[in-house]
Amino acid sequence: MMDTHDFIARYAGIYEHSPWVAERVAPFASDVDNAGQLAALMADCVDNAAPEKQLELIQAHPDLAGTAQIAGELTADSTFEQESAGLDQCTPEEFERFQALNAAYRDKFSFPFVMAVRGSHRTEILDAFAARLENSYDLEFETALTEIHKIARLRLDAMGAE
């Protein structure tokens, strides 16, 4: 059983730049014994947060193959996730397409495109990017949160959350 301080220290990074999720879940998670239960508690916390807080969470995510990646400013988890999808190996044409899609997506939705990219290939990501640009704001907001929950679960699994 972990105390609240240790819990927050361990899980603060599960949701990108959003330690509030771990802070809110900590009092209820001291006896949680597996990644699935912890992921469900954390997802429930996010799903029940105010829409403004959810939007902040979405906006905390970096663009895919974006300026933060180039500048080396991604979190370690985001760096690994983007590299696992080959986003650090884009051709100049693919990189330009990512930049154009990032800009179009932000213009339309006012938040970054979020996708759990671990295990995907950059061509699949580009296809999903283009398809999701056709979505409504409400659908894309929900899709972004669903993808964020997938990212959180993958991160919990990767760290052997127990």
Query: Catalytic residue numbers?
Result: 61
CA-nearest of 63, 77, 64, 51 to 158 is 77
Task: Say if residues 53 and 39 touch (Cβ distance below 8 Å).
Answer: no
Amino acid (one-letter) located at 18: S
Question: Cα–Cα distances in Å, from 105 out to 129, 134, 156?
Answer: 8, 10, 28
Cβ neighbours, 10 Å, residue 53: 15
